[in-house]
Structure 1
Amino acid sequence: MNDAVTIASGLVGVAAVAGAVTAAVRLRRPRPYQATGHALARPADLDPLPAVLRHGLGGLTVPVTPGPHGELFLGPGAPQPGRTLRRLVLSPLFGRIRAHGGRLARGQQVPFRLVVEFTGANRDAETLLQAYRMLDQQLRDHAALLSHCDGEELTPGAVTVSIAGIVDVRELLAADRVRYAFAEGTFDDIGSQAAPPGLVPMISEPWSRRFGWDGREPISAEERHLLHAMVRSAHEDGRTVRISGLPEGSAKARRAIWTELADAGVDVIADSDQRGLARHLSRHPVSEWVAREPLPTRAVRRGSPRPTAPRGDRRHEPV
């Protein structure tokens, strides 16, 4: 009898250990890559990249402040030693991509979108120019993994870098025949010869700039029609769409907004609620992300700001 009890107790212990091991393996398993999900780093985030990678999100907007010698420091406040864009974002991001054979994650089909947003009180033109040149040099150290544009030839890579917060960034970028960063645009740039997709490949606007719906009630037919029409126009113009600045509200309201954005075909949904957004996208996959060519892909020559693809065809190669 005692032997039977001992054996039974042992089996229970083995089962408990096996369950714990299974749970640990499940926790370590990487989440599916959510190309539509984009994280907005908070000013208080000391090291923003690990959480983004852990949640499997396909992009990150990080605020930076120019510091001594043109180095870029994370956050809008005074530069803090060691908290540089190079050390905390660029080096680990590209190191991970190299370790995974040229992709950030197994399911990656489109570039990871890194938005470098210049912030801070110092808006001196010379300081910003020096900081841009420093960023450009740091990016060229990883040229083989970056989306880049050579003249009018646009080639997607594992990472696409966009720059925001510098008023004349388009002039700076346009001066480089081969560039490894791009400017962010607005819906006003659609069809503009002065802002071709090779210079401004992504439309990026805060939700509140054109919409008032906060997700608490059903969206109006007018706003839904406007959203779908604007996204469709951007895609027909050869650009992707990123929407940020979503209203603060309950989890239910935020999910309603995410759902509407996905239904409209918005390519990049940016939010600071990384966990909630990743969970929502895993449960409600965005069907528009199918039929993308694997990375790396062939170059696309952009001779005109309007592609020749049929109306409604969303298989343009995104950057």
Structure 2
Amino acid sequence: MNDAVTIGSGIAGVAAVAGVASAALLARRPGPYRATGHAIARPDDLDPLPGALRRGLGGLTVPVTPGPHGELYLGPGAPQPGRTLRRLVLSPLFDRIRSRGGRLAPEQQVPYRLVVEFTGANRDAETLLRAYRMLDQQLRDHAALLSHCDHDRLTPGAVTVSIAGIVDVRELLAAEEVRYAFAEGTFDDIGSHAAPPGLVPMISEPWSRRFGWDGREPISAEERHLLHAMVRSAHEDGRTVRISGLAEADRQARRAIWTELGAAGVDVIADTDQRGLARHLRRHPVSQWVAREPLPARTVRRTSPRPTAPRPDRRRETV
């Protein structure tokens, strides 16, 4: 669809400048790829992808708001031309992967994790459904590069897309025999037949949901044991774990929490403090699972899944 919305030409000019700046930033040489690091874009960030890629972070959570005809828009306020998810995130991300032979970086071993978080005051079910259908269509244009699930069989790709912020998204996704997006989960989904890994491959929670430690004093033995036990249970259930840090903590407290998350084997550490997180992971790298089905070494043009031999254990298929 046409991204244009009828507003003043001055705003359109700002959007054009932002697009040029985005392209310039994407062209800059990124830092070493940190699969564990995950950027959380702030609601007022109009172009969050370039910074996250430049810092080598292995994922991005981006808040979006449904606009006219189901298109998804970034940034606060009313939808603005040029600020669509497709233009600012999806197209540049997949173009970069194609230009590099199917990976964001030579050392990429697990999918880039893109979380699309539906926000905004309009929670009308029909509006959200129309927006999801539009997103699904846009994702299928890049099917060969996406992690997908075909009749409950997970196949990793260069990018895994998760949906957050839609209450009924699990029902929408479960109805699709082949899906190119997944639902966000919680630790309550471990062992749930209603939320199998093929539907909810990643558990995603903020630190404060289950833990009271604020990073300023040493963590208690009880909370450390609980963290390790929960992460281990999630891995044994075939899921990856993403935990975000404290939203209003200083950097020293954040670093303490990041350190504990890394020691517990958390797969994805998410935070709005992208610069601090990238620096911390550079100094304290976290070992990663390696997907049993490796990511493609070059761009694959076919849209149908590649046949593979049956595997007895799916627990380390990192999606």
After TM superposition, the score normalised by the length of structure 2 is 0.84
Shift of 1:158: 0.2
1:174-231 per-residue CA deviation (whole Å, 9 max, x = no partner) reads 1110000000000000000010000000000111110011111100001000000000
Distance 1:132 1:302 in 2: 32
Are the structure 2 counterparts of residues 261 and 177 from structure 1 closer, same or farther at C-alpha, using a change threshold of 3 Å?
A: same
The question of 1:189 aligning with 2:186 is answered no
Q: Which residue of 1 aligns with 2:274?
A: 274
Give the SS at the match of 1:287.
coil
Are the structure 2 counterparts of residues 29 and 214 from structure 1 closer, same or farther at C-alpha, using a change threshold of 3 Å?
A: same
State the one-letter code of the partner of 2:44: A
Kept after mapping to 1: 8 A contact 2:289/2:316 = no
Distance 1:113 1:45 in 2: 19
Aligned-residue CA RMSD (Å) = 2.1
Kept after mapping to 1: 8 A contact 2:205/2:242 = yes
Distance 1:214 1:302 in 2: 45
Shift of 1:119: 0.3
State the one-letter code of the partner of 1:199: L
Distance 1:105 1:94 in 2: 13
1:23-82 per-residue CA deviation (whole Å, 9 max, x = no partner) reads xxxxx6531100000000011211100001100000000000000000000135321221
Kept after mapping to 2: 8 A contact 1:163/1:169 = yes
The question of 1:40 aligning with 2:35 is answered no
Are the structure 2 counterparts of residues 300 and 38 from structure 1 closer, same or farther at C-alpha, using a change threshold of 3 Å?
A: farther
Kept after mapping to 1: 8 A contact 2:33/2:56 = yes
Shift of 1:244: 1.6
Q: Which residue of 2 aligns with 1:204?
A: 204
Query: Once superposed, which parts of structure 1, at least 4 consecutive aligned residues long, lie more than 6 Å away?
Result: 297-303
1:77-125 per-residue CA deviation (whole Å, 9 max, x = no partner) reads 3212210000000000000000000001121110000000000010110
State the one-letter code of the partner of 2:62: V
After TM superposition, the score normalised by the length of structure 1 is 0.84
**Count of residues paired in the alignment:** 284
Q: Which residue of 1 aligns with 2:69?
A: 69
Kept after mapping to 2: 8 A contact 1:153/1:300 = no
State the one-letter code of the partner of 1:124: D
State the one-letter code of the partner of 1:40: I
- Kindly, what percent of the aligned residue pairs are identical? 86
Shift of 1:292: 6.4
Distance 2:138 2:51 in 1: 23
Q: Which residue of 1 aligns with 2:109?
A: 109
* Long gaps (5+) in structure 1: 1-27, 310-314
